[in-house]
Amino acid sequence: MSVRQHKAIQRTYQDLYHRYGPQHWWPGDTPFEIMVGAILTQNTAWTNVEKAIHNLKQAGCLDPESIVSMPIHRLAELIRPSGYFNVKAGRLTHYCQWYLENGGYEQLKALKTQFLRQRLLSVHGVGPETADDILLYGFRRRVFVVDAYTRRLFLRLGIIEGEEDYDGVRVLAEEALKRSVKDMNELHALIVIHAKNSCRVRPLCETCCIRRRCRFQADQAANS
DNA sequence: ACCCAGGGTCATA
DNA sequence: TATGACCATGGG
């Protein structure tokens, strides 16, 4: 938790913010839709998730009551475009059962962040990143979301060594940007947006590319 | 044809 | 605790 790491994260945030502007995430109309999106987007392109959510909306099933009372194979069929549809149908059902058993949004929002985080992690199919997506974008808590992009970016910027665990990276970013929910919201969103652009639009950007395999990185390795 | 995507769980050693 | 297999669609 060095000052150097904090400064680097702050600088990266300002750089990305200046470059892309505020993103105003999460793309979704209601907290529940955001939660569904958080589960469906696990290791999946967002464009595919949009199709699945569209199907749920069109079927009039984008609510926890409909999802828990629906035959699992029908739910799987509706979310098919988002991939892993059998797995995710089970995860969505588990999540909605938990959500309803605990009184839904109005009851859950009364819980303190760390306790709510523990409860989310206890739901089968909700791991650390999904839990933090739900906390940050669904419940508007000051929590940072660490995804694969964040790890690669921080690693290639020399901010982390690569052996830090999930919570280590999360707390590092939360310490670096102590100000507001807004900053947590924007930093994660900007990193994702940057990932989509960094190799195509501006391959040699200052913060470097954060795709898994980057031409820029490969060239550097070849020249050294 | 290959790579990858806004992960998580489970079985094995 | 640490690695690997598995889940599966769709765009570049």
Domain ranges in chain A?
3-24+145-165+177-223, 31-138
Integer distance in angstroms from CA A191 to C1' B6?
Answer: 10
Residue A119 CA to residue A41 CA, distance in Å, equals 20
Q: What is the pLDDT along chain A (224 residues), one digit of tens a residue?
A: 799 999 999 999 999 999 999 999 999 999 999 999 999 999 999 999 999 999 999 999 999 999 999 999 999 999 999 999 999 999 999 999 999 999 999 999 999 999 999 999 999 999 999 999 999 999 999 999 999 999 989 998 899 999 999 999 999 999 999 889 999 999 999 999 998 887 544 333 445 556 665 555 444 433 33
Q: Which CATH class is domain A3-24+145-165+177-223?
A: mainly alpha
Residue A197 CA to residue A2 CA, distance in Å, equals 30
Nucleotide nearest A86 (Cα, C1'): C7
Q: What is the pLDDT of residue A204?
A: 34
Q: What is the pLDDT of residue A179?
A: 83
Q: What is the pLDDT of residue A211?
A: 61
Q: What is the pLDDT of residue A212?
A: 62
Q: What is the pLDDT of residue A218?
A: 42
Residue-wise burial string across A170-187, b where 16 or more C-beta atoms lie within 10 A, e elsewhere: bebbbebbeeeeebbbbb
Task: Report, in this order, helix, strand and coil percent for chain A, each rounded to 5.
Answer: 65, 0, 35
Q: Omega into A26 within 30° of 0, i.e. cis?
A: yes
Q: Which CATH class is domain A31-138?
A: mainly alpha
Nucleotide nearest A45 (Cα, C1'): B5
Q: What is the pLDDT of residue A197?
A: 80
Positions of chain B reached by protein Cβ under 7 A: 3-10
Positions of chain C reached by protein Cβ under 7 A: 7-12
**Minimum-distance residue to C10 (CA–C1'):** A48
- List residues with CB under 7 Å of strand B: A 25-27, 37-38, 41-46, 48, 83-84, 87, 124-131, 133, 137, 147-149, 192, 195-196, 211-213
Burial of A75 (0-12, 13-18, 19+ CB in 10 A): buried
Residues present in chain A in total: 224
pTM for the full predicted model:
0.93
